[in-house]
Amino acid sequence: MRSTLAVLAMLVLGCASLAHAQSPAPTARPNIVVILADDLGYGDLASYGHPLHRTPHLDAMAREGLRATSAYAPSPSCSPTRASLLTGRYAFRVGVPAPFSPRSTGGLRARDHVTLPQVLKSSGYKTMVVGKWHLGDQPGMRPLDHGFDRFVGLLYSHDYKDPFVQTPEKLALWDGEQRRVEEPDPATLTGTYTREAVAFIRDRAAASQPFFLYLAHSMPHVPLAVSAAWRGRTSSLYGDVMAELDDSIGQVRAALTAAGVADNTIVIFTSDNGPWNAMPDRMFGRDIVKPWDHGTPGPFRGGKAGSYEGGHRVPFLAVWPGRIRAGLTSDAPISVVDLFPTLAGRAGLAGRVPANVDGLDVWPVLSGATASPAERTILYDNGGKLEAIRVGPWKLRVSVAPTGAGAGPPLARRSPGEGGNGPSPAERVELFHLLHDPSERYDQSAAHPEVVARLRAQLDAENARK
């Protein structure tokens, strides 16, 4: 009898153990921190080859997580890439063709689009955006309309003032729907954003509530500005700005550690586009901005406002202790447009991602499960239209001649869909093999007409799809 009871007891315990093994304990949803620099080039970090810039905290991210070498901003200017980050769609599909000027009638309208912060907030996340918004300054287009619980920052770029941009609107540091500081000193912006981000992390961790922090720095966009504590630390003003920006990332990560949530937080750092290395003449009024006040595209051709690699290829670092392998380098093509489905998936919200997103869940790349480049399509949105396409190693670029040397991105003063200013220049078609020729020096279109035809058909089909 005793032996029978013992056997039964062992069976019961065994079944219970098996059931426990088959039903893993629920994992806490990760906190998410996305840090976006403004106009920072692919080659601006020490971990991406810059010989002078001191970026120890960003270099630590590269050692402790993923460093991507084929990461793309979907557009080569600020408002479009920010729209893509939040919606998971290419900007020309959501009515964001170019940077919005103050009091513009255009913007990212909350009633028309589902955003990442909306999805996260609806499932219990606390959400905050700190820094530069630049997706419309009118009601219905502001941060609190798009699923953010808190906003502290600027509604557009800090150069939207005399002598750079002629506008009757005065810059202000906003707190929610209130103007908190009129015409803030740009030298205070990095420090202000950092303090607000750190306070948000501390408060949310104390409340034991998952959070999404979108920290959109204004630097190193011109006019360059740095606090007194960081001025003169390096060999250039740009280097000083980079050093203070790097310190901000260090403070944010230290706050995560101090709050005890670093191990359950995904931290991503990237840029909205490449460096503004061909600024228009309007930026040089009163000798405030110097022609060399910009970063470097590294080995790539071009920069901001163009569809060569230098305008779109950006640094991309991701850290999540225990989930993203330390020291991982990936050349798999990924895009900022992938952040919505990827981050929603890690929060267990894949089913809430709209079916029409362009981005992919690239978690296999971030985690290291996919080591080689995926045969996926990368699209290059520029000025409200797809101008280039990459599939595997091949990139087709279909463009028009620039209207002037160094022409910057247009300001979107019209509503999307309004007419242009005249006839377009002649079309230019170029084909590059990015693995053989990453600097895009050798046009292969004449030698491979079949590749041109295939990619052109795909590019035209994507341009026609909204």
Please give the positions annotated as active site: 78, 134
Cα separation of 95 and 38, whole Å? 21
As given in the structure block, the two tokens for residue 380 are: 């290059």
Kindly compute the dihedral angle of the four CA atoms of residues 131, 136, 142, 145, in this order, to the nearest 10 degrees.
-130
Length of the chain: 466
Q: Which amino acid is at 310?
A: G
- What does residue 417 show for φ and ψ, rounded to 5 degrees? 100, -10
The label of the residue with tokens 């948000």 reads 200
CA 272 to chain centre: 5
Quickly list H helices, 229-388: 237-258, 309-312, 339-346, 363-367
Q: Are 130 and 173 in contact (CB under 8 A)?
A: no
Q: Which amino acid is at 111?
A: R
Q: Which amino acid is at 402?
A: P
Which residues, 6+ apart, have CB-to-CB distance to 9 below 8 Å? none
- The DSSP code for 261 is -
As given in the structure block, the two tokens for residue 94 are: 């959501």
**Bond prior to 416 in cis (omega within 30° of 0):** no
- What does residue 431 show for φ and ψ, rounded to 5 degrees? -130, 130
Q: Are 134 and 100 in contact (CB under 8 A)?
A: yes
As given in the structure block, the two tokens for residue 465 are: 């799809």
Query: What Rg do the C-alpha atoms of the chain give, in angstroms?
Result: 23
Cα separation of 455 and 147, whole Å? 37
